[in-house]
Structure 1
Amino acid sequence: MKTKTLSDLKSKFADKSWNETIQLVRRCMDKTRADGRVCDPITKCLQKINEALNVSSLTAMVSRLEMIAKQIGLGSHLSPTETVCYLTADLFYVEVVLLPGGRVEDVRVAHHGEAPVSSPTFLQLLRMKKFQEFSLKLEDLASFYNIPGDVDDKIKIYTALQHLESDLLKISHLPRSLREGDLHDDLILNGIIGNVRPGNEETPMKIEYYISPSEALMRLSSTGEVGGGQVALVTVGSSDTPYRLQMEPLIFSPPQVDLFGVPAFQQLSDSCSALLPATFLLKLQPPLPMLTSFIEKMGKITDGVIPEKHLQVEPLPQLLMKTSTIQNTKISWTEGVQFVVPLPASEYHSYVFSGSEWGHESWEGALIDAVPFTHPGHVPVLLDTLRHQSAINVLLASCFSNHTHHIDAGLSYNLKCEVLPESDCCVSVTFSLENSDHLAVLLVMMADFRQVSCRLLMPDFVDHKLNDYISRVLMRCMSIPITMRAIRRKVANLMIHPSPVAEPPCTFKMESSSPTIAVCPDVSDPDIKPAVYPSVSQEGNGEKSLPSSAGYYVMSVASTPVDDNANTDAVANPSPCASLGVYSHWVTNGVPAELI
């Protein structure tokens, strides 16, 4: 059909220029037809014609821009002087200022009620005639404002989004103590709402809420460009149920905070809010595999805004495999999977995941790409839940590799381990050390993303300081294989030297033969360097300890003024742990009771 249509057009208009043919086809497409499918072949032909032509005239550039707008669902028109092409939507428009010969002088983006602002990204793409990339970028911009309802509702929802961004910026600027040596990483991990980047003419507000040690190391060892980690875009989405959204800022100016650094919010009322068929959204990039229990927690935080819909659940490790960069994604978990993880100094570990053990309901998860909410006070607690899940994912994924074998494969390794689920947010690693006839078990307890602790269970061997050391190693590298390597070396050293020995610091090293990983070296390692991520508290006697236990906090939404005991200058707590009026009974204070 495509070939025949192109052939007919070519033979019928052989004596005419391509520009005349294109104009005729465009006029035909603009006519209303009862069956839109009739135009599909012509539309595809026109697209191929435009892509084949060299855009070297003003008419050709306008034609290409109009075609892009139609594909995305935007309107388009020329200015009376025919020097500006407008690509329009309900809440924004794009001005493309043209010069003779199809050259582009400027590209400006104007959001509703705001003046046009030049967009260097759009301008560069059009000047380089990268129309495909320009189309994708423009489609992303249009999707950010895919707001339901009539024009009045869309304007109100966009206004609510602007006030939400204003409140989130106020929260991000609250004073707080510095925990990490690197300011960027500290903002991501310990900021009340992560590292906030205000929206601009091209993208909405962006929140960086988690970064793993390996990603932080890659960022520091690269050209200095910030990248990687987990990101959430603050946008809006449609909802079948109307929700009350703010029509003005809800945080007092200047912000009034309690003893924990949590700001007070003005109560939602008819005068400062409106019922609208939409919710705010945290669009997760990339989408995050989450345990169903964590999804339920987020539903409680948002007071039921997250809909209870059927989720395609599967074991969390299997879900992580599908969303990771591991090349071998066709793995059957029925009989179990064995990963071979290479480490520096030609050391190899094997990690076995039993399909039957990981099939329990408590460790089932689903892929989440957006989290709906209705109040700025929801965001800090939602982000803490996302951070907690991200930390669990990083730990489990550290045992994955592109090298997989069946469990019964007779291969030789420095260490063989089996990773098993225990209680909620707790896994065990069963292994056998060299020159030992007994099995040992490492319990990894993830109370929250800042509090990961370990307990080593070995026959006829008790060393409480070793548990503290292992916990610090794991917190610093967030890698089970690297921690197992440190255990193997440490236990061997203690067997030879029963008396206390100096604990080597954990540092990061780049190995050319393997991915970037963290290494806990021997005392004699000449390459010891100060660790950058993450830090742990230092006591006055020089001993390192685990982070303090999490507390319980409530976000205040009272409309009444803050009482006299409120400290408006207090250092903000880096992570409030409760939603609006919902106590965080699910937050574990320290080690789970069943493991003490």
Structure 2
Amino acid sequence: MESKSERVVHCWSVTFIASASMKTKTLMSALKSKYADKSWNETMQLVRRCMDKTKGDGRVCEPITKCLEKINEALNVSSLTGMVSRLEMIAKQRGLGSHLSPTETVCYLTSDLFYIEVVLLPGGRVEDVRTAHHGETPVSSPSLLQLLRMKRFQEFSLKLDDLVSFYNIQGDSDVKAKIYSALRFLETDLFKISHLPRSLRESDLHVDLIMNGRIGNVQPGRDGTPMTVEYYISPLDVLMGLSDTGDVSSGRIALVMVGNSDTSHRLQIESLISSPPQVDSLGFPVFQPLTDSCSELLPATFLLKLQPPLPMLSSFIENMGTITDGVMSEKDLQMEPLPQLLIKQNSQISWTDGIQFVVPLPASEYHSYVFPGAEWGRESWKGALIHTVPFHHPGHVPALLNVLRHQSAINVLLESCFRNHNHHIDAGLQFDLRCEVLPESDHCLSVTFSLDGSSHLAVLQVTVVDSHQMSCRLLMPDFVDHKLDDYISRVLMRCMSIPITMRAVRKKVSSLTTQPVPVPDPEPSTAMEITSTPRSSESAVQEERTASSSPGYYLMSVPSPVADNTNTDAVANPSPCASLAVYSHWVTSGLPAELL
């Protein structure tokens, strides 16, 4: 029966025999014979010494390196030496340096900009894990500590990979330190902007902060991770969050980072906002000019890393380029029709001309939505998948977020036509509504449909003015009703779903066609305009009573969470356009009864 040492050496032999020459096989046989009588502890010490000797040798062949890593991963970490070996291996895999303190109780994992202290105890146990940037006081990291205590080394390694990618900056140590310092001053200014007084526009404070805050919902970085900005949340995100956890779930976020640039940009090396901040007529801060005393030319830019990446129209990308003084560019971007980008991101369905989607709705209702590929191929509706948005000044961020919110609103509407696509529909299914979705202008689309018992087509025009304002216009033969247009617009803004809106249109028009046809406007041109004519107080109250009569399972009447650090003392409006309260009714009264 083989001894333990023989089994270890035999494992080494099996690993290399497949690719070794006959000479290598002879050497391995001799090695096996030489160490056959060695004890298990002596063999293990030999293996560890061999592993230690290869740590700084870049000439070690790849197969041997991989073999050593597999042996290290297979060993049970039950001693201080074992834990140190595992940490050093992880550091090497992630491109970090590593060394032990003179007392051999702390293992350091280091890079040019940051380092990690792992405080060790006898037996390989971990007392604490602290992260720090060079020159700063280390801060304990509960998440990293928990991973090491549970010996979840793979997850710990992935966390280090995130840290390395966050600080992936080219240049020498001095340049990297300056770029990191610029990032810290940017974060300081973004926090100052987020805490400026503003008026509330939604009853749900958390949603209001995301949708209407000058830079959304800002969260500081933790455990060495970057600052996050939550800039958009859809009604569906709100519903899913409430149904799953009782809290509002996260929507679309952007990580505030730095990235390399072929061109040097003037980045701040101190805060550009005075204390206390001075604000302009729109409630935005007044920034100090970028001069030589407060900025420096560096080969980098700030970045908003979008999670998830956002499909964007070329016109929006061009707009962001204007905001950032040309830092954001369409160069080298692969342009595709916007629905195609959204479909690729949300499903496994391939984009084809005239692709059809089947959307199930409550009460066993089914809609069909067709996207004519030739129509959506026009240049104005082509876009690209944007992963990062570069900029070089904190004043760019509020304007960039408004563009991202606007694009997100358009995307949510289009996604609603195929997000719940049913792949298992019988071929003979009778659709309650057949619709064709067509592009119009940059921010306008149309839905063509035919109602039951009608030989005429009707068109619903949808214009997305911005993330807070949408207008609908229903075009039907010999039928004009601006109050109905206003009603449909309110429904769309509340649900941000074309199928749910079309369901409401179908029910509303069916009930109206049994009544006398309204007298058309005297001027035909007026009927084609998208209007927002104010309603009388009496009709508005009556419509709201009807809208809230049966909230059903869409009801969102819950206590509003309190937004942290929100200053609502002043009434400065962060946007010149009036709010139409996209989300307020979701929280207070639910959706209209016609949607159920």
Compute the TM-score of the two structures, normalised by the length of structure 1: 0.82
Displacement after TM superposition at 1:193 (Å): 0.5
Displacement after TM superposition at 1:495 (Å): 2.6
Q: Write out per-residue CA displacement over residues 216-275 of structure 1, whole angstroms, 9 at most, x where no aligned residue.
A: 122223324553311011110011100000111101111111121011000000111100
- Look up the match of 1:331: 350
Displacement after TM superposition at 1:361 (Å): 1.3
* Structure 1 residue 503 corresponds to structure 2 residue 514: no
Task: State the Cα RMSD in Å.
Answer: 2.8
Unaligned runs of 5+ in 2: 1-11, 19-27, 519-538, 561-568, 578-596
Distance in 2 between the 1:371 and 1:533 partners?
A: 36
- Look up the match of 1:349: 367
After TM superposition, the structure 1 = structure 2 runs for residues 170-189 of structure 1, keeping only pairs within 5 Å, are 170-189=192-211
Q: Quickly say closer, same or farther: Cα 1:316–1:479, change in 2 above 3 A.
A: same
> Do the aligned residues in 2 keep the contact of 1:257 with 1:570 (CA within 8 Å)?
no
> Do the aligned residues in 2 keep the contact of 1:336 with 1:407 (CA within 8 Å)?
no
Q: Quickly say closer, same or farther: Cα 1:384–1:184, change in 2 above 3 A.
A: same
- Look up the match of 2:342: 320
After TM superposition, the structure 1 = structure 2 runs for residues 23-422 of structure 1, keeping only pairs within 5 Å, are 23-33=49-59, 39-324=61-346, 326=347, 329-333=348-352, 335-401=353-419, 403=421, 411-422=429-440
- Look up the match of 1:494: 512
> Do the aligned residues in 2 keep the contact of 1:291 with 1:365 (CA within 8 Å)?
yes
Residue aligned with 1:503, SS: helix
Distance in 1 between the 2:62 and 2:249 partners?
A: 41
Which stretch shifts more, 5-14 or 420-429?
5-14
> Do the aligned residues in 2 keep the contact of 1:337 with 1:406 (CA within 8 Å)?
no
- Look up the match of 2:21: none
> Do the aligned residues in 2 keep the contact of 1:92 with 1:112 (CA within 8 Å)?
yes
Distance in 2 between the 1:307 and 1:489 partners?
A: 45
- Look up the match of 2:486: 468
Which stretch shifts more, 54-63 or 406-415?
406-415
Displacement after TM superposition at 1:25 (Å): 2.9
> Do the aligned residues in 1 keep the contact of 2:318 with 2:329 (CA within 8 Å)?
no
Which stretch shifts more, 337-346 or 142-151?
142-151
Displacement after TM superposition at 1:452 (Å): 1.1
Distance in 2 between the 1:98 and 1:416 partners?
A: 66
Q: Quickly say closer, same or farther: Cα 1:17–1:504, change in 2 above 3 A.
A: farther
Residue aligned with 2:437, SS: strand
Displacement after TM superposition at 1:437 (Å): 1.3
Q: Write out per-residue CA displacement over residues 499-545 of structure 1, whole angstroms, 9 at most, x where no aligned residue.
A: 98953679xxxxxxxxxxxxx78x567778466899xxxxxxxxxxx
> Do the aligned residues in 2 keep the contact of 1:384 with 1:575 (CA within 8 Å)?
no
Q: Quickly say closer, same or farther: Cα 1:505–1:190, change in 2 above 3 A.
A: farther
Q: Say which one has the larger Rg.
A: 2
Residue aligned with 2:459, SS: strand
Distance in 1 between the 2:460 and 2:388 partners?
A: 35
> Do the aligned residues in 2 keep the contact of 1:2 with 1:45 (CA within 8 Å)?
no
Residue aligned with 2:543, SS: coil
Which stretch shifts more, 124-133 or 408-417?
408-417
Q: Quickly say closer, same or farther: Cα 1:576–1:298, change in 2 above 3 A.
A: farther
- Look up the match of 2:585: none
Q: Quickly say closer, same or farther: Cα 1:477–1:87, change in 2 above 3 A.
A: same
Amino acid at match of 1:120: P
Displacement after TM superposition at 1:204 (Å): 1.2
* Structure 1 residue 440 corresponds to structure 2 residue 458: yes
Displacement after TM superposition at 1:417 (Å): 0.5
Residue aligned with 1:97, SS: strand
> Do the aligned residues in 2 keep the contact of 1:381 with 1:575 (CA within 8 Å)?
no
Amino acid at match of 2:336: E
- Look up the match of 2:25: none
- Identical-residue share of aligned pairs (%): 69
Amino acid at match of 2:53: R
Displacement after TM superposition at 1:312 (Å): 1.4
Distance in 2 between the 1:389 and 1:257 partners?
A: 28
> Do the aligned residues in 2 keep the contact of 1:336 with 1:406 (CA within 8 Å)?
no
- Look up the match of 2:534: none
Residue aligned with 1:356, SS: helix
Amino acid at match of 2:350: I
Q: Answer 1 or 2: which has greater helix percent.
A: 2
Distance in 2 between the 1:206 and 1:525 partners?
A: 34
Unaligned runs of 5+ in 1: 507-519, 535-568, 578-596
Q: Quickly say closer, same or farther: Cα 1:429–1:13, change in 2 above 3 A.
A: farther
Distance in 1 between the 2:13 and 2:315 partners?
A: 51
Displacement after TM superposition at 1:29 (Å): 4.3
Which stretch shifts more, 47-56 or 59-68?
47-56
Amino acid at match of 2:49: Q
Q: Quickly say closer, same or farther: Cα 1:401–1:571, change in 2 above 3 A.
A: closer
Amino acid at match of 1:574: P
- Look up the match of 1:426: 444
Displacement after TM superposition at 1:497 (Å): 5.0
Q: Quickly say closer, same or farther: Cα 1:341–1:86, change in 2 above 3 A.
A: same
Displacement after TM superposition at 1:43 (Å): 1.8
> Do the aligned residues in 2 keep the contact of 1:380 with 1:576 (CA within 8 Å)?
no
Displacement after TM superposition at 1:28 (Å): 2.7
- Look up the match of 1:573: 573
Distance in 2 between the 1:286 and 1:2 partners?
A: 47
Q: Quickly say closer, same or farther: Cα 1:384–1:19, change in 2 above 3 A.
A: farther
After TM superposition, the structure 1 = structure 2 runs for residues 542-557 of structure 1, keeping only pairs within 5 Å, are none
Distance in 2 between the 1:29 and 1:106 partners?
A: 25
Q: Write out per-residue CA displacement over residues 304-357 of structure 1, whole angstroms, 9 at most, x where no aligned residue.
A: 112442111211111111111x3xx24241x32111001111111111111111
- Look up the match of 2:536: none
- Which residue, out of 1, 5, 20, partners 2:16? 5
Amino acid at match of 1:310: D
> Do the aligned residues in 2 keep the contact of 1:209 with 1:387 (CA within 8 Å)?
yes
Q: Write out per-residue CA displacement over residues 132-168 of structure 1, whole angstroms, 9 at most, x where no aligned residue.
A: 1111111111211112211111111111111111110
Distance in 2 between the 1:252 and 1:202 partners?
A: 27
Q: Write out per-residue CA displacement over residues 61-102 of structure 1, whole angstroms, 9 at most, x where no aligned residue.
A: 111111111111110001111111100011110001111111
Q: Write out per-residue CA displacement over residues 170-194 of structure 1, whole angstroms, 9 at most, x where no aligned residue.
A: 1000111111111111100000000
Compute the TM-score of the two structures, normalised by the length of structure 2: 0.82
Distance in 1 between the 2:378 and 2:334 partners?
A: 15
Q: Quickly say closer, same or farther: Cα 1:116–1:136, change in 2 above 3 A.
A: same
Distance in 1 between the 2:118 and 2:189 partners?
A: 33
Q: Quickly say closer, same or farther: Cα 1:457–1:308, change in 2 above 3 A.
A: closer
Q: Quickly say closer, same or farther: Cα 1:403–1:570, change in 2 above 3 A.
A: closer
Q: How many residues align?
A: 521
> Do the aligned residues in 2 keep the contact of 1:440 with 1:458 (CA within 8 Å)?
yes
Q: Write out per-residue CA displacement over residues 273-315 of structure 1, whole angstroms, 9 at most, x where no aligned residue.
A: 1000001011111111111111111111000112442111211
- Look up the match of 1:544: none
Distance in 1 between the 2:84 and 2:215 partners?
A: 43
Displacement after TM superposition at 1:363 (Å): 1.0
Which stretch shifts more, 407-416 or 349-358?
407-416
Displacement after TM superposition at 1:451 (Å): 1.1
> Do the aligned residues in 2 keep the contact of 1:174 with 1:572 (CA within 8 Å)?
no
Residue aligned with 1:460, SS: coil
Q: Quickly say closer, same or farther: Cα 1:451–1:228, change in 2 above 3 A.
A: same
Amino acid at match of 1:463: D
Q: Quickly say closer, same or farther: Cα 1:236–1:346, change in 2 above 3 A.
A: same
Q: Quickly say closer, same or farther: Cα 1:421–1:273, change in 2 above 3 A.
A: same
Distance in 2 between the 1:130 and 1:405 partners?
A: 39
